[in-house]
Amino acid sequence: MAEAIKIDELDIEFKDEVLGKVPAANFDLCLTCGTCTGGCAASELMDMDPRKLIRMLNLGMDDVILKSNWKWVCSMCQRCVAACPMKINIPALVFNLRAAIPREKRPKGILGSCDQHIRTGSAMGAKKEDFEFTVLDVAEEIRESHPGFEDLEVSVDREGAVMVLNQNSREPVTEPEEMGPLWKILHSVGADWTYPSVMWAGENYCMFMADNEGWKYIIEEFAYHIDNNLKSPMVVNTE
């Protein structure tokens, strides 16, 4: 059971700051109904939940919500927004709470994954040459040993494919055989697809960490490669 909110010093500056960036966040419309909290996987963790967070924000408890580490356990899934009768944008608040922390003080695991992605193209640090080698190697193994998939087509950087698919980098690095089932589905429905070699990883810890510059850089590199080199009309983000 969560503890009652205790109001000490009130300061509503942070709420105004977030509303300046996300005017449609609608925090004042909260009915305190708790529907958001009922479906939130992060509820009750660290003595916090989305309803309580909005209540604290509206009461001006800036210090408490800025200090709480709950912002790092929210998965940004948006389930609360879908469930909220007033469409209050709680993930936008969480994003701004994260962005308010100096970059070097954000959680090391997320920070390291963001930096790896910027440097190498994937949060796991796998370079594009290694990614391509693994993908083609696993595809060859499937063609040789899985009846019915002798003509399975898997490619990296095939120009003109209808669809470009990205890939969570955990699979090629730690469980490469896990990529096979999706390839088989795409093969079975006759999909015309390819992987990109530039920023090929689907995850984006820079977005999760509220690093706007890193997030923007990754997406711009990815989009530039698809538009100008692969010339594909469609992207499917698996994350």
- List contacts with ligand SF4 (CB under 6 A): 30-36, 40-42, 50-51, 54, 74-80, 83-86, 88, 90-91, 94
Q: Within 13 Å and on the Cβ side, how many CA atoms surround 114?
A: 21
**Residue with smaller CB distance to ligand SF4, 41 or 236:** 41
**What is the Cα–Cα distance from 49 to 65, expressed in whole angstroms?**
11
**Residue with smaller CB distance to ligand SF4, 80 or 123:** 80
**Residue with smaller CB distance to ligand SF4, 92 or 165:** 92
**Residue with smaller CB distance to ligand SF4, 94 or 226:** 94
Give the strands of the sheet with 234-236, arranged side by side.
Answer: 193-194, 163-165, 234-236
In whole angstroms, the minimum distance from the beta carbon of 232 to ligand SF4 comes to: 31
**Residue with smaller CB distance to ligand SF4, 53 or 142:** 53
In whole angstroms, the minimum distance from the beta carbon of 61 to ligand SF4 comes to: 16
**What is the Cα–Cα distance from 215 to 98, expressed in whole angstroms?**
14
Sequence-separated (6 or more) residues with CB below 8 Å from residue 134: 126, 172, 176
The answer to whether 166 and 200 have CB atoms below 8 angstroms apart is yes
Sequence-separated (6 or more) residues with CB below 8 Å from residue 224: 198
In whole angstroms, the minimum distance from the beta carbon of 148 to ligand SF4 comes to: 40
Sequence-separated (6 or more) residues with CB below 8 Å from residue 218: 117, 118, 199, 204, 206
Look up tokens 């305190």; give the residue: 32
In whole angstroms, the minimum distance from the beta carbon of 60 to ligand SF4 comes to: 17
In whole angstroms, the minimum distance from the beta carbon of 187 to ligand SF4 comes to: 34
Where do runs of H (alpha helix) occur along 146-179?
A: 170-174
**Residue with smaller CB distance to ligand SF4, 29 or 136:** 29
In whole angstroms, the minimum distance from the beta carbon of 68 to ligand SF4 comes to: 13
